[in-house]
Amino acid sequence: MEFIKKFINKWIDGSIDKVISEIKWIYLYAKKYWMAMIFYTAIGLVGTLVSFGTSLVSKDLIDIITGHQAGEVVKYFAMTIGLAVGGMAFSQLSGYLNMIISLKVDNEIRGEIFEKILVTDWESITEYHSGDLLTRWSSDTSNISSGVLNYIPNAIIYFFKFFGSLAIVLYYDPTFAIFALLGTPVSLIMSRTLMKRMRNNNDRSAKMNAKMSGFNQETFVNIQTIKAFDLVELYGRYLKQLQQDYLDMKIDFQKLSIKTSVLMSLVGMVVSYSCYGWGIYRVFSGAISYGTMTLFISMSGNLTGALNSLVSLVPGAISLTTSARRLMDIVEMPQEDYSKRAEADAYEKAHRAEGISVELKDVDYTYHTGTEVFRGASFEAHPHEIVALVGPSGEGKTTLLRLLLALLKPKAGKEYLYGGSRRASGDEGIELAPFSRQFFAYVPQGNTMFSGTIAENLRKVKEDASDEELKTALEMACAWEFVEKLPHGMETKLHERGGGLSEGQNQRLSIARAILRKAPILLLDEATSALDVETERRVLKNIMADTYPRTCIVTTHRPTVLTMCNRVYGIRDMKCQVLTEEEIRQRIEEF
């Protein structure tokens, strides 16, 4: 009755439904690799049969030796050696094949999860720390791939080993089965007791690993800031505290492991010595031979080992479902829709010569946190224009660019792209969506360069770009003047986040990369903040002098370039309002 009550309570609070959904999710991956699972199972079963054969041949060999049947010794000795060598060769071959299959499946599942994370709704995914995402993608994905390949095959192999050993024991002397199965009740009770604690431990371990990973990643990424603020000692204390928390967790786990191990070892000793004692008694009474006794002892070890292995599948299943739930949290978030990419490609090609305009009408947007940014905001920009967005920090400039890139979705209003400076009659344009990002080149705030050469960084947006195209883009961004002076020019290697160059140089490289993409719309989010005024104006003049029909949108705190812009929007009262010439002049004078 108590068990039924607990089951009903778990069903009511949704625990059972969660476990069922986790198992179904794992099954979706498992069914893709049924051939590999069959192969794993076959290898394990063959290995178990070889083990049984070795035990039976050893029994006969001992009986022959103790029976002084010299004529049969050589034959059975040769068989024993043959089985041992064959088992060793089979073990090495199967291990090699298992490794190849395991890595292949792990890579495939990792790749699939990786792609799903990348197309997850941007605002949803930013709720998670990057360290936590990395832990889920690496540790939890490996756990799933290992479980998918091994869990069912191992269950079948352990059952086969258990019942095969039991059948051999029953065939030669059924009384031995009683002693061999002495540990069964204890193992079953242990599995029930451990289940809840293992699930809690797995959750705690996953959270702690994610916390450690996040701390380490943030520390190394921001090491310059830590040094600059003289925070080395503080971060050292943070790490020691995290390490202590991790140590405390591991000690708790180890205590549980020791208790379990000691209990299972004691049970194993009771089973083994009982079998020894009973075997000695049966030998002295003449009921069995010495060879049969050694066979029974071997089979009792198989029975106990197989049973313990079956019991160990319980915490293994808990670990597997825990990883599944952590990955489901990520991959079952809203996914971005790229289904209309082909239509967007065709539209871009059709209007390449005249350029692309972008327009927002009566847009409302509020973040998940409840912060309202826009209410009825409208905005437009056209080919061969530079349109600026100005306003205090936190008023919505970057948010507007994220709406244009479809990283954020408006709560109300319309967002679309259309060819030329005016939308032709009957042209519905293209809605702003993830698939429309191909129309944009984006230079965000901060350093966005990757480790690798300058050329490799630029070619990330156009893999087949020639050196001449790279040079042209660098010249337009006023970056060639310092790149050509570097020891290896465009083949100069950059460290992580553009280490080795100044912030201004990295900004110019980022702009060059965006120009190289040849996208119809260029977004510059404070992208010239680290440049001097003269260089900033030169970069913008070069962009506008280009014959390519580019629409350029910039956000800036510095009004020194506003006189170059066709239109300037100020963000006020959650709306985008076009500034008058007098308002622009006043901003310049007050700067």
In which element (H, E) is residue 176 found?
Answer: helix 175-180
Q: What is the DSSP string of 363-428?
A: EEEE-TTS-EEEEEEEEEE-TT-EEEEE--TTSSHHHHHHHHTTSS--SEEEEEEEESSSPPTT--
Question: Could you give the CA distance from residue 291 to residue 70 in angstroms, rounded to a whole number?
Answer: 16
Chain mean position to CA 121? 15
How far apart, in whole angstroms, are the C-alpha atoms of residue 302 and residue 280? 19
CB 520 within 8 A of CB 385: no
Please state the rounded mean pLDDT for residues 35-57.
Answer: 84
Among 88-92, 333-337, 490-494, 533-537, the least confident range:
88-92
What pTM was estimated for this model as a whole?
Answer: 0.72
pLDDT of residue 560: 74
At 182 the pLDDT is 64
CA distances from 555 to 90, 187, 213, 483 (A): 66, 67, 34, 26
454 is written with which tokens?
A: 């300058």
Tell me the two tokens of residue 446: 């901060």
Type and span of the H or E element at 491: none
CA-nearest of 422, 349, 351 to 382 is 422
Query: In the chain, what are the domains?
Result: 2-331 (1.20.1560.10), 341-590 (3.40.50.300)
What whole-number distance in Å separates Cα of residue 435 and Cα of residue 457?
Answer: 23
**Residue 191 has what pLDDT?**
56
Which H or E run contains 167? helix 141-172
pLDDT digits (tens, 9 = 90+) for 443-464: 887 777 888 888 998 998 888 9
d(CA 462, CA 438): 12
Q: Nearest-CA neighbor of 125 among 395, 368, 364, 338?
A: 368
State pLDDT tens for residues 396-407: 888 999 999 999
The pair phi, psi for residue 338, each rounded to 5°, is -115, 20
- The first and second tokens of residue 63, run together, are 């009986």
Return d(Cα 543, Cα 407) in angstroms, integer. Answer: 25
What is the per-residue pLDDT across 177-204, written as a single tens digit (0 to 9) for each?
A: 776 666 566 555 655 555 556 666 766 7
Q: Is the pLDDT of residue 379 over 90?
A: yes
The 8-class DSSP code of residue 437 comes to G
- Give 540's pLDDT tier (boundaries 50, 70, 90): confident
How many Cβ atoms sit within 10 Å of the Cβ of residue 479? Answer: 28
Q: What is the pLDDT of residues 352-371, one digit of tens each?
A: 889 999 999 999 999 888 88
Stretch 384-406: mean pLDDT, rounded?
87
Q: Are 417 and 437 in contact (CB under 8 A)?
A: no
Q: Is the dihedral of CA 458, 463, 468, 473 positive or negative?
A: negative
